[in-house]
């Protein structure tokens, strides 16, 4: 017996006409807040409050950012701004230590090229590549 595999499980069903349940709730909640602001605030102040409030409700219901619903984007923004930041790629400067040999004269020393840690890694990598090429 073959089993029925559900398809389009990421698509929410349309409950109220062309709207999903979440979209309907966002629009009803936004409409209720707009109605309350319109009835209790003076007209000039009501326009200032109602227009952004209605836009926010419509954005919650319909706007998507890179395929993500606007409510998820807001949730991620709040989590990021309120959470602790971990800087993984923050560069830490290493202190260079100079070793002084007691009794050695600085004037008679031969100047050797300075090898940094990254330069040593580059040299080791190039030697490995040369070994692999010769081995083939």
Instruction: Choose between 15 and 128: higher pLDDT.
Output: 128
Least confident window among 6-15, 30-39, 79-88, 91-100? 6-15
pLDDT surpassing 90 at residue 8:
no
Mean pLDDT of the chain, nearest integer: 84
Percentage of the residues of the chain whose pLDDT score is greater than 90: 40
Strand partners, 64: 69
**Tens-place pLDDT, residues 59-105:** 999 999 998 999 999 999 999 999 888 777 777 788 877 777 776 66
pLDDT surpassing 70 at residue 124:
yes
pLDDT surpassing 70 at residue 43:
yes
How many residues does the structure list for the chain?
A: 136
Instruction: Choose between 106 and 97: higher pLDDT.
Output: 97
Per-residue DSSP letters for 59-94? HHHH-EETTEEHHHHHHHHHHHHHSPP--TT---PP
């Amino acid at each position: 017996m073959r089993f029925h595999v559900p398809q389009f499980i990421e698509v929410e069903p349309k409950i109220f006409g062309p709207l999903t349940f979440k979209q309907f709730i966002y629009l009803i909640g936004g409409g209720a807040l707009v109605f309350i602001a319109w009835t209790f605030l003076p007209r000039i102040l009501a326009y200032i409050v109602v227009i952004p409030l209605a836009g926010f409700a419509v954005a919650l219901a319909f706007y998507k950012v890179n395929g993500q619903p606007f409510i998820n984007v807001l949730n991620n923004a709040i989590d990021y701004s309120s959470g602790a930041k971990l800087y993984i790629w923050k560069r830490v400067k290493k202190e260079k230590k100079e070793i002084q040999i007691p009794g050695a004269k600085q004037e008679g020393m031969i100047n050797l090229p300075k090898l940094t840690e990254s330069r040593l890694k580059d040299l080791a990598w190039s030697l490995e590549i040369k070994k692999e090429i010769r081995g083939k």
